[in-house]
Amino acid sequence: MIPDGPGVEPAGTTPRPDVGLSPPPSPVPHDSGDGVTTKPASELCSTEQSGSRPAAADQGDSTTNHVDPISTHTFAPGALTRVRDRCERRRSATKGGNDFCPFPTVTAKPSWIDQQFDWQGRVLVEKDQQSGAKPLGCAWFIGDVHGDLVGLLAALEFIRSQKEYRDHDIIVLLGDLIDDLAESHEVLAEVSERLQRDERLLVIAGNHDVALEYCDERGFGASVDPSDFSRYLQQLWECEESIREVSHRLARSFIEYIANAPVALFLRDGTIVAHGGVPHTDMTQKVLQENWGELPEVWSDFIWARLHPRAKRRIAVTGTRSRELGAADFHAFTEVMGTKLGFKPTRMIRGHDHIDERFEIYGGPWKGAVLTINSMSWKLPREIGVDGPRDPCVAQWRPNEPIQPYVIKLDRAWRAGLQPGSLA
Ligand SMILES: [Mn+2]
């Protein structure tokens, strides 16, 4: 493990907007009959009109409605039972040492990705409809998971139980599947199994994912901190072979998978999707090159860069990982991409920064153009605040409509009852 250095996520110092987000309003449940109680859109509008918009405090220009105000949802008992069952099955499979389904190999890319997107190196660009591709109907986003099996399962259950969810929708994981919470192995096993089953799941590389390393001489390591998962994998050398072998093979297949995973999506309605940020201004000439998506110095900003929630500009410090962009730097990139792609990005959905409320809509100079979401249902050890459950956040995208974040209200006692013991 390489200790604190460039690219390390600062513990508990998540950047905040000018105005803190007030807690989401308590949901007024409406049984949708599908196991999830929801809050109808009309209530969101009335919240907005009353002037007490709960999430998008300091939106700046209120005419720029890129992201919907927050909507909170409560799980019905049936959904909670399904998540608990799935969670317990996954845990006992891991304990039994037979929980191994490797990540798909590079050559096994599902055909739906190529039907829907063009690859520009590590970047996916939604195909033009003139090419005959079916337009993307709806995409769902899951933010950072960080070894929280319950958060991942709750997010997946929530999305799949939405009335608007269709089988051809895609679910995008915004990266950072591992580290921090105790169940990185279980999270990877869950994701790899779903990928092998050909679910329409897209995993985008996060900084913790790409930082995990393996070599025959030294075993596992990580160029990020915290890196609990690589430590856990190293400790397994002391364990019996059946347990060790399964975890090590899963982790090595993940490393290979992530080394070829997309780092960003560009959707034709102007939405950028990535874990961190976008290439900084010093990369403009390289972004204009044909092979831009193959250049690590360009695409690493999608994984590592941060978007400063208040700044207009930040200096592009060349050669470091944790570069920061302000709103004007972001817009400079969108201008360049507009020329390059023929459509101009206007908004972004991402993870990377950890927020106690598990979502943040950037106001001030950003004018609501950026949504950050996390899907951890528990406080991370490096986060400040009261220890215990959090409400994970997911988001829904439909072309040319505001992105809709959903805070999934989990029963606190239920969540606490699913807290795993130490894996070691
Ligand atoms: Mn993260």
What CATH number is attached to the domain comprising 329? Answer: 3.60.21
Report the distance separating Cα 76 and Cα 57, nearest Å. 29
Residues ≥6 apart with Cβ < 8 Å to 253? 102, 103, 192
- What pLDDT score was predicted for residue 362? 95
Cα four-point dihedral sign 253, 169, 345, 402 = negative
* Cα(132) to centroid(ligand 1), Å: 37
**Domain count along the chain:** 1
For ligand 1, the distance from its centroid to the CA atom of residue 226, given in whole angstroms, is 10
Is 340 inside a domain boundary?
yes
pLDDT tens track for 368-393: 999 999 999 999 999 999 999 999 99
**pLDDT at residue 334, as a whole number:** 98
Strand partners, 72: 407
Beta strands in 312-400 (DSSP E): 324-325, 347-350, 359-361, 370-373, 393-397
Judge whether 115 lies within some domain: yes
In a domain, 114, yes or no: yes
- Segments forming the whole domain that contains residue 166: 37-206+263-417
C-alpha separations of 394 from 221, 242, 266, 347, 373 in Å: 30, 36, 19, 17, 7
Q: How many angstroms separate the CA atoms of 334 and 343, rounded?
A: 9
Q: What is the Å distance from ligand 1's center to 189 Cα?
A: 19
CA–centroid distance, 376 to ligand 1, in Å, is 10
Is 6 among the domain residues?
A: no
Residues surrounding ion ligand 1 at CB below 5 Å: 144, 176
User: Rounded to whole angstroms, how far apart are CA atoms 49 and 38?
Assistant: 20
Alpha carbon of 355 to ligand 1 centroid (Å): 10
For residue 77, which of 419, 413, 411, 418 has the smallest C-alpha distance?
411
Q: What is the token pair recorded at 174?
A: 């915004």
Q: How far apart are CA 57 and CA 372, in angstroms?
A: 14
Q: So what's the pLDDT on residue 131?
A: 85
Radius of gyration from C-alpha coordinates of the chain? 20
Residues of the chain predicted below pLDDT 70: 1-66, 421-424
Q: With b meaning 16 or more CB within 10 Å and e meaning fewer, what string describes 41-51?
A: eeebeebbeee
Tokens of 139: 């995409």
**Separation of 273 CA from ligand 1 center, angstroms?**
15
Measure the CA–CA gap between 205 and 190, rounded to whole angstroms: 17
Which long-range contacts link 332-338 to residues 24+ away (Cβ below 8 Å)? 332/281, 332/284, 333/278, 333/279, 333/280, 333/281, 333/284, 333/287, 334/272, 334/278, 336/284, 336/287, 336/288, 337/266, 337/287
Whether residue 339 lies inside any domain: the answer is yes
Ligand 1 centroid vs 308 CA: distance in angstroms? 16
pLDDT at 170: 96
How distant is the alpha carbon of residue 149 from its chain centre?
Answer: 14
Q: Would you state the pLDDT for residue 75?
A: 85
Buried b (16+ CB within 10 A) or exposed e, 395-424: bbbeeeebbbbbbbbbeeebbeebebeebe
Structural domain contains residue 24? no
pLDDT reported for residue 23: 32
What are the structure tokens assigned to 46, written together? 């009335």
User: For residue 237, which amino acid is it?
Assistant: W
263 Cα to the center of ligand 1, angstroms: 14
CA atoms within 13 A on the CB side of 91: 19
**Predicted model pTM:** 0.85
- Å from CA of 176 to ligand 1 middle: 5
- Is 140 inside a domain boundary? yes
